[in-house]
Amino acid sequence: MKKVLFNQDNLKEKDIDETVIRTKGIIINEYDELLLGYSNKTYQFPGGHLEPNETLIDCLKREIKEETGIDIKDDDAHLMEKITYYNKNYRNSNKNRKNEIYFYIVNTKTVYDINKTNLTKEEKEGNYTLKLIPLDKVEDILIESISDNPINKIIVEEMLEVLKEYKKIK
């Protein structure tokens, strides 16, 4: 598993007030199309926050089910990369946050079903949808989306890093 660290503020572990852990799935079908969530003018790999007493794989399975309607099994997912962010005064909260994101390659031929999703209020309000994007076009689409939402600068950088790693091991 590749590990990437972003720590522009040079924080140490002792400086961290809270840690948030997420899992995300890189779901690519047999036609080399990548399945992405799209909400609030932002593309994302399906995934989300780890809940108390939940394993990483259980979090991934739950989040994939909630956001795509796809049921995956433990052996459908393979841990590929971990990205860690250390953020000083995260979103003006007066807290230093460590974000750990675990990216899994998800092998499934199951087709997504938006009608079987269980979206959050924020996802519904953001007009959440799923998009299949050809792997050879996804980088250009992500780069073009940077100006659509200020958060995209960070998210697109992260997604491009993960896609680069995926292409190395594909």
DSSP per position, 110-138: PPP-GGG----HHHHHTT-EEEEEEHHHH
pLDDT band at 164 (very low <50, low <70, confident <90, very high): very high
pLDDT band at 169 (very low <50, low <70, confident <90, very high): confident
Q: Using CA atoms, how far apart are residues 115 and 118, in angstroms rounded to an integer? A: 9
Domains, the chain, ranges and CATH? 2-169 (3.90.79.10)
Residue 109 has pLDDT above 90, yes or no: no
- What angle (nearest 5°) sits at the alpha carbon of residue 154, between those of residues 153 and 156? 70
At residue 51, the pLDDT reads 96
The packing angle between helices 135-145 and 152-169, to 10°, is 160
Q: Using CA atoms, how far apart are residues 88 and 165, in angstroms rounded to an integer? A: 27
Mean pLDDT across 142-157:
94
Give the least confident one: 7-16, 32-41, 56-65, 107-116: 107-116
Task: Encode pLDDT of 42-77 as tens digits.
Answer: 999 999 999 999 999 999 999 999 999 999 998 999
At residue 170, the pLDDT reads 78
